[in-house]
Amino acid sequence: MTVVEKCQMTSEIDPSQWSEEVLWPLPKLSISIFGHQQVAMDREKSIKLIEALEWTGLCPSLGEARKAIKNKGVRVNRKVVLDTSMVLTKNNVLPNLDAIVLERGKYNFGIIEMC
């Protein structure tokens, strides 16, 4: 699979449907070719979405994260989020990835891997 095909697949298909070819390298990479940032979080903890956006590097500040959410530019597990006070918990974890997938824009992903 080419980089272009990976970019198209990850931007157009729900993360729960991502192929093994895309899933296997994710835990091994800190930054991927298609704008992926990965961090780890204890599954018993929670984090505010705006903090997660800053933590993963998708937004440079909390204010920028709030603006991105208000402008419908942020998705959690492929669903647009409009609530700036949203809190991410283990309930948001995708079982096939054991992670939460954040998106800002079309090719910028933040993966919060549970540990």
Does 62 score more than 70 pLDDT? yes
As a whole number, the mean pLDDT across the chain is 79
Label residue 98 by pLDDT band (50, 70, 90): confident
Domain-wise residue ranges, the chain: 3-114
106 to 19, 24, 44, 109: CA distances (angstroms): 19, 21, 30, 8
Label residue 43 by pLDDT band (50, 70, 90): confident
pLDDT score recorded for residue 32: 36
Look up the pTM and report it. 0.69
CB 100 within 8 A of CB 88: yes
Instruction: Among 3.30.2350.10, 1.40.20.10, 3.10.290.10, 3.40.50.11600, name the CATH number for the domain at 3-114.
Output: 3.10.290.10
pLDDT score recorded for residue 28: 43
Better-predicted residue by pLDDT, 61 or 38: 61
Better-predicted residue by pLDDT, 26 or 98: 98
Window from 8-22, 25-39, 50-64, 101-115 with minimum mean pLDDT:
25-39
Label residue 108 by pLDDT band (50, 70, 90): confident
> How far, in Å, CA of 94 to CA of 110, rounded?
13
> Which has the closest alpha carbon to 102: 57, 44, 46, 43?
57
Does 94 score more than 80 pLDDT? yes
pLDDT score recorded for residue 3: 52
